[in-house]
Amino acid sequence: MDEKAEIFKALSDPTRLRLMNIFLATGDDLCVCEMTDALQLPQYQISRHLATLRHAKLLKTQKQGTWTYYSLDQSQTGNDSLFQFLQSYLQGGHFDEDRERLTQRLILRDAGKCVVGIVPAAELKQMIVEKLRQDA
């Protein structure tokens, strides 16, 4: 299958579009645990979709110790215009909710805390509120 077909195949799934949305929102390297919290999906599901996006050369990986971080692969010719199109397409609806959950989750990273897996919403909210109070 040619490269363009692989890209369209990768983007044909709603979960993969949600993943691309959070990468486009942050422009940051993300670990799987951050994505599971943002999308509220289990790790195995996220990892399977990340593999498809990586195979289509939309994402790249970087190892840091025992963790693997994923980010947009902007080294591929033509990806910039594709990413711009996706950014405008993925505005609104549950895509914004995913972005908000990711923003809240990254507050914990900035605080030097990592919460592996899906944290109960009430506990996550309390951790974020505490961090925001400390910063105020």
Tens-binned pLDDT, residue by residue, of the chain (136 aa): 688 888 899 999 999 999 999 998 887 889 888 888 888 898 899 999 999 999 999 999 998 888 889 999 988 767 788 888 888 888 766 788 888 888 888 877 766 656 554 455 667 677 777 777 877 6
**pLDDT (0 to 100) of residue 84:** 84
**Burial (CB count within 10 angstroms: exposed 0-12, middle 13-18, buried 19+), residue 40:** exposed
Tokens linked to 126 = 């309390």
Of 71, 77, 74, 62, residue with least CA distance to 3? 77
**pLDDT (0 to 100) of residue 15:** 94
**pLDDT (0 to 100) of residue 54:** 94
Q: How many helices and strands in the chain, by DSSP H and E?
A: 7, 3
**pLDDT (0 to 100) of residue 114:** 60
CATH class of 3-135: mainly alpha
CB within 8 Å of 78: residues ≥ 6 apart:
none
pTM comes to 0.76
**pLDDT (0 to 100) of residue 47:** 94
Can you state the angle between helices 14-26 and 32-39, rounded to 10 degrees? 110
**pLDDT (0 to 100) of residue 46:** 94
**pLDDT (0 to 100) of residue 62:** 92
Cβ 22 vs Cβ 102: under 8 Å: yes
All structural domains of the chain with their residue ranges? 3-135
- Bridge partners of 67, per DSSP, are 64
Tokens linked to 30 = 């993300």
**pLDDT (0 to 100) of residue 85:** 86
Strand-strand pairing, 59-64 and 67-72:
antiparallel
Of 43, 39, 42, 32, residue with least CA distance to 15? 39
